[in-house]
Structure 1
Amino acid sequence: MQPRPRLLLATAIGAVAVLVAGCTLGTARQGSETLSGTSFAAAPPPGAGVVPAGLELFYTQQIEWGSCDGFATDGDHLKPTLECARVTVPLDYDNPAGATAQIAISRSPATGARVGSLLVNPGGPGASGLSQASVADGTEVAQRFDVIGFDPRGVGASTPQVRCQTAQEIDAERSDPDVDMSPGGVARTEQKNRTYAERCAQRSGLPVLANVGTRDVVRDMDVIRSALGDAELNYLGFSYGTRIGTEYAETFPENVRAMVLDGAVDNAQSPVEETVLQGAGFQQAFDAFVAQCTQSPECPLGSDPAVANANFRALVDPLVTQPAATTDPRGLSYEDAVTGVLQALYSPSLWTPLRGGLTELAEGRGDTLLLLADRYAGRLDDGSYSNLEDAFNAIRCVDDPPLLDRGVVGEMDTRYRQAAPFLDDGRGTGYAPLDACAFWTVPPTNGPRGIDDLQGLPPVVVVSTTEDPATPYQAGVDLAKRLGASLISYQGAQHTATFDGVACVDDPVTAYLVDLATPEPDLTC
């Protein structure tokens, strides 16, 4: 089946200097009066805002801030001015006296008159959010809020951590082109997906997998809100982080003070529509890159945009049988070439390395595209991996019901190829493999939920970019309507826009977060 890109907030590619990610699985700790690793007041404070009965120990815990040394797991450097801590939450909220999890959080303290805390999530699902405490640096928001990043449960520095594959197994998977759509090829791919699901169960544990979804993340956020001393939540969610925000609004509408959702994932969409629309979004981004590239006589895709798709296929298709040479002994596989291109299409800031990578590929080399693919996959300098990919799969497999209808899966593959012809290898048969979620060992925890009748939710702001490749513009329009939210439309070809230096977006978002001033209707930037 054609690749389904992760809904990540893209980061600029450069020399990827990364820290080593620990590969040891965290162990859930048993609950007690002290909840080991977290201190509680001898006479617990009342907590901030609503404290659910039976969860008082969690909601009233005292956060101990300290150094962020050892917290970074994904190669992002945490600024030395940040503080880090861990918040204890139940692993299973239906059994708060049982095993617990530790949620890693970071803080950039307010430097001026403080409004409160602002939680930020970058998306994924499965992306570490600790570096997001720096996302508003240099703005009034950073002056007025303690900006809080966090690694959702199962992710990054939070424990227990989801782990499914070793680095060697991930490298092997990335080298497999997975393009055979014959009955035999589909059967082989499904066996790999089944094995992957079994490894996740064995290496992460069923209790972790059963409670790693967005349903539980939003409950953790409410614990964090209270432990930070905020009666109401301020939240900024990017990409899949908008789904987290939407589900928090569904679960705790009266606990929201302000919420900005940028790069919307609309949970009213079916998985098929979401996938096909995302394919169309990446084709649109590829076309925009082509339009710029073909203005140069040295564009590796030629000078005629009308044949750029075919020229791109001519570059990448030979990799199915013969990887391109790289200074790294792995070489550039077909899958990694496509992944590297997708990574670069998240932002025009990556189009220069994309052009360079395709130029290299025309010369038989693949170093730049491999570097882009490594960044996307969470591979670190020492050859280890963050748990980005495993967490992504584990969360999505419990957040949505699996697709088990082979007719629907085949139709989705066909429609994806039609929506994104630059990604179509010409091997489609109308028959495609079930993905790993079809073989998942725990049931989904989130079902379809309606948000049309929310009571008590204050005004929300949605930001949507007109040519966003990963979360197409219309999803933001639809989500804003469903939430009764203000919509800021940004005309651009990138994934998300808030605090990216666009004053027309940042100024009304800042006024909203600080003063609760709603943006002007139908604001377009």
Structure 2
Amino acid sequence: MIAVVLPLALVTAACSAEEPVASPPHTVVESLAPPTPTPPPDPMAGFYAQTLAWGECAPFATGEDSRAAFRVPGLECARLSVPLDYAKPGAEKISIGVLRHRAAGERIGSLVVNPGGPGGSGMVAAAGLSVPAAKGEVGKRFDLVGFDPRGVGASEPRIRCLTDAERDADRADDSETDGSPEGVTKQENEARDFGVKCAERTEHGNAMLANLGTRDVAKDLDLLRAALGDQKLSYLGYSYGTQIGYTYAEAFPDKVRAMVLDGAVDPEQDQLEGNLAQITGFGKAFGEFAKWCAEQSDCALGRDPAGATKAFQDLTRPLIEKPVPAGDRKLSYEDLGTAAIQAMYSDQLWKQLNAGLNELVQGRGDKLIALADQYNERGADGTYGAIQDAFTAISCVDNPKITDKARIAELVARANEAAPFLDDGKPDGAALDTCAFWPVPNTSEPHTPKVDGVPPVLVISTTNDPATPYDAGVNLARAMKGGLLTFEGTQHTVFLQGIPCVDDAGTDYLISGTLPPPPTRCPTP
């Protein structure tokens, strides 16, 4: 700093003219420039500096599935603190449940896993993967880490919309087959009421719903990366978990080490387009099921695949008017459709679906309602997981509201053509869904991710994936400027599920960062 010398004012003294006037002293005065202000403290610093207190996983279980999954030896669990609203990090805090299985060999870092949904438990998924992964290089080189996204599973607070009794009643109600004006009005009233219940029954109400989306999950994921001690993120996302992955890559491009995205959600499709693509995938999978079934001596749909759709319709449509006994409950037409969709996720469930359809011929629905329970996460004690509530809540805040009834009607017609086995044969209405009435605005919308600076990612796509069709993976790999690995099969997601061609390519990429040479295709063994 340069000192400034200022003259003092001369004061007239009472002195004789002959007396010399003394020269005033010189005084050094500091600069009048304002001091540099001290920057305010970073409100996120405490979140990024936190450490995880690992302990037993049993207290984190929320249902039968998680209790069973958390019994695997070697698991540790903890809670991560995150802001409820990232625009107000000094206000309310919520917590994220985290599970870890430590690397068995020379550790590279953490591999964070999300299984999709939205609403699926990453903690349960990581626990389930820990046993097979421990036998290979992934389990040797990485801590396998799963997290329950905000509002899901062991994270607190959890999204709560319907009670167990209300969920049972909703499944038993086949009013969605009523396309009359009265039926449409009833459906829309129920859709509006669902959002009201979510806001009333979830802690923090609308504030939680408004900050539940993938935008905020990606920010939580970066806090988790820091708490795990990783400079950069290694990530494995299945299904909707791919959306979390590419959202994170767009928000934190310099923090990505490697990503495997399996069973991609197309980033450019809106909710209606995504639904149609998924229904089309289920239609193709049903065609494969029909071919398989025709080769079985006990096929409930007959020995001609070409006649399987009509046989299925003839067998199942009567449930609309007359549900059949299923234990101490009734199998509704809605539950039958849910059971069929659940079985389309993997050819390993086709035998169970055929057995259930044969049982339906005899007027019973026990096996089919068990498949529907599996999809809905209903335990034997009648309690539900929160996946269906979370699925709706997250989907609604991730997508713009769709209120164009002409477009909805067009979708319904195209869906009936793409998957006629699910066509109920009734006149179609164009009811608005729950998201059209959602009590808070969306925080995301479909778009091509901007991923400049992100290292190449590996996208895995299955040719007959029923839930996230193959082309979605092709589109995501192009958008991410990454590599594409094709699996020729009929199932939803495949990495670390015992297919050596896929597992080897994905593992090599995670360890070395080297993509498999294009075009790599892995056939069903």
Q: Normalized against structure 2, the TM-score is what?
A: 0.88
* Secondary structure of the corresponding residue to residue 100 of structure 2: strand
Q: Which residue of 2 aligns with 1:114?
A: 107
What letter matches 1:106 in structure 2?
L
Q: Which residue of 2 aligns with 1:506?
A: 503
What letter matches 2:213 in structure 1?
G
What letter matches 1:414 in structure 2?
A
Are the equivalent residues in 1 in contact too, given 2:120–2:387 (CA < 8 A)?
yes
Whole-angstrom CA distance in 1 between matches of 2:236 and 2:185: 42
1:463-474 aligned at under 5 Å gives the runs 463-474=460-471
Q: Give 1:463 deviation, angstroms.
A: 0.1
Q: Which residue of 1 aligns with 2:436?
A: 438
Whole-angstrom CA distance in 2 between matches of 1:56 and 1:74: 35
Q: Which residue of 2 aligns with 1:43?
A: none
What letter matches 2:422 in structure 1?
L
1:297-376 aligned at under 5 Å gives the runs 297-327=297-327, 329-376=328-375
Of 191, 198, 204, which residue of structure 2 is paired with 1:200?
198
Q: Give 1:296 deviation, angstroms.
A: 2.2
Are the equivalent residues in 2 in contact too, given 1:236–1:261 (CA < 8 A)?
yes
Q: Give 1:338 deviation, angstroms.
A: 0.8
Q: Give 1:74 deviation, angstroms.
A: 4.4
Q: Give 1:316 deviation, angstroms.
A: 1.0
Are the equivalent residues in 2 in contact too, given 1:163–1:390 (CA < 8 A)?
yes
* Secondary structure of the corresponding residue to residue 301 of structure 1: coil
Whole-angstrom CA distance in 2 between matches of 1:120 and 1:413: 34
Are the equivalent residues in 2 in contact too, given 1:120–1:236 (CA < 8 A)?
yes
Instruction: Tell me which structure has the larger Cα radius of gyration.
Output: 2
* Secondary structure of the corresponding residue to residue 95 of structure 2: strand
Which structure shows the bigger proportion of residues in helix conformation?
2
Whole-angstrom CA distance in 1 between matches of 2:362 and 2:403: 42
Of 71, 76, 86, which residue of structure 2 is paired with 1:83?
76
Q: How big is each residue's C-alpha offset from its partner over 1:132-159, in whole Å with a ceiling of 9 and x where there is no partner?
A: 2241232111111001011000001100
Whole-angstrom CA distance in 2 between matches of 1:384 and 1:283: 31
Q: How big is each residue's C-alpha offset from its partner over 1:250-291, in whole Å with a ceiling of 9 and x where there is no partner?
A: 111110000000000012113222111211110111111110
Q: Which residue of 2 aligns with 1:237?
A: 237
The share of aligned pairs that are identical, in percent, is: 50
Whole-angstrom CA distance in 2 between matches of 1:397 and 1:100: 23
Structure 1 residue 172 corresponds to structure 2 residue 172: no
What letter matches 1:308 in structure 2?
A
* Secondary structure of the corresponding residue to residue 197 of structure 1: helix
What letter matches 1:248 in structure 2?
Y
* Secondary structure of the corresponding residue to residue 171 of structure 1: helix
Whole-angstrom CA distance in 2 between matches of 1:174 and 1:267: 31
1:177-196 aligned at under 5 Å gives the runs 177=174, 178-196=176-194
Q: Which residue of 2 aligns with 1:492?
A: 489
Whole-angstrom CA distance in 1 between matches of 2:299 and 2:324: 19
* Secondary structure of the corresponding residue to residue 422 of structure 1: helix
Whole-angstrom CA distance in 1 between matches of 2:387 and 2:482: 31
Whole-angstrom CA distance in 2 between matches of 1:440 and 1:256: 33
1:41-440 aligned at under 5 Å gives the runs 53-76=42-65, 77=68, 78=70, 79-134=72-127, 135=129, 136-177=133-174, 178-204=176-202, 205-327=205-327, 329-429=328-428, 431-440=429-438
What letter matches 1:261 in structure 2?
L
1:448/1:296 CA distance change after superposition, 3 Å: closer
Whole-angstrom CA distance in 2 between matches of 1:330 and 1:517: 53
Q: Which residue of 1 aligns with 2:34?
A: none
Of 472, 477, 480, which residue of structure 1 is paired with 2:477?
480
Of 451, 454, 479, which residue of structure 1 is paired with 2:451?
454
Are the equivalent residues in 1 in contact too, given 2:269–2:446 (CA < 8 A)?
no
* Secondary structure of the corresponding residue to residue 124 of structure 1: coil
Q: Give 1:374 deviation, angstroms.
A: 0.6
* Secondary structure of the corresponding residue to residue 70 of structure 1: helix
Q: Give 1:219 deviation, angstroms.
A: 0.3
What letter matches 1:174 in structure 2?
R
CA RMSD of aligned residues (A): 1.2
Whole-angstrom CA distance in 2 between matches of 1:260 and 1:125: 18
Q: Normalized against structure 1, the TM-score is what?
A: 0.88
* Secondary structure of the corresponding residue to residue 307 of structure 1: helix
Are the equivalent residues in 1 in contact too, given 2:104–2:134 (CA < 8 A)?
no
Q: How big is each residue's C-alpha offset from its partner over 1:151-207, in whole Å with a ceiling of 9 and x where there is no partner?
A: 000001100110001001000000011200111111111111111111111111111
* Secondary structure of the corresponding residue to residue 325 of structure 1: strand
Q: Give 1:304 deviation, angstroms.
A: 1.1
Are the equivalent residues in 2 in contact too, given 1:467–1:491 (CA < 8 A)?
yes
What letter matches 1:58 in structure 2?
F
Whole-angstrom CA distance in 2 between matches of 1:252 and 1:83: 27
Whole-angstrom CA distance in 2 between matches of 1:168 and 1:108: 36
Q: What is the number of equivalent residue pairs in this alignment? A: 471
What letter matches 1:159 in structure 2?
E
Whole-angstrom CA distance in 1 between matches of 2:491 and 2:427: 29
Q: Give 1:297 deviation, angstroms.
A: 3.1
Q: Give 1:454 deviation, angstroms.
A: 2.4
Are the equivalent residues in 2 in contact too, given 1:197–1:441 (CA < 8 A)?
yes
Whole-angstrom CA distance in 2 between matches of 1:318 and 1:515: 56
Whole-angstrom CA distance in 2 between matches of 1:470 and 1:454: 25
Q: How big is each residue's C-alpha offset from its partner over 1:7-31, in whole Å with a ceiling of 9 and x where there is no partner?
A: xxxxxxxxxxxxxxxxxxxxxxxxx
The answer to which structure, 1 or 2, has the higher relative contact order (CA under 8 A, 6+ apart) is: 1
* Secondary structure of the corresponding residue to residue 456 of structure 1: coil
Q: How big is each residue's C-alpha offset from its partner over 1:465-518, in whole Å with a ceiling of 9 and x where there is no partner?
A: 000000000000011011111100000000011001111111111111111122
* Secondary structure of the corresponding residue to residue 208 of structure 1: helix
Structure 1 residue 517 corresponds to structure 2 residue 514: yes
Q: Give 1:420 deviation, angstroms.
A: 0.6
Q: Give 1:54 deviation, angstroms.
A: 2.6
Are the equivalent residues in 1 in contact too, given 2:477–2:484 (CA < 8 A)?
yes
Are the equivalent residues in 1 in contact too, given 2:43–2:90 (CA < 8 A)?
no
What letter matches 1:190 in structure 2?
E
Whole-angstrom CA distance in 2 between matches of 1:180 and 1:84: 47
Q: Give 1:330 deviation, angstroms.
A: 1.4
Q: Give 1:85 deviation, angstroms.
A: 0.5
* Secondary structure of the corresponding residue to residue 343 of structure 1: helix
Whole-angstrom CA distance in 2 between matches of 1:179 and 1:120: 38
Are the equivalent residues in 1 in contact too, given 2:209–2:440 (CA < 8 A)?
yes
Whole-angstrom CA distance in 1 between matches of 2:222 and 2:96: 12
What letter matches 1:378 in structure 2?
E
Whole-angstrom CA distance in 1 between matches of 2:378 and 2:490: 26
Are the equivalent residues in 1 in contact too, given 2:187–2:431 (CA < 8 A)?
yes
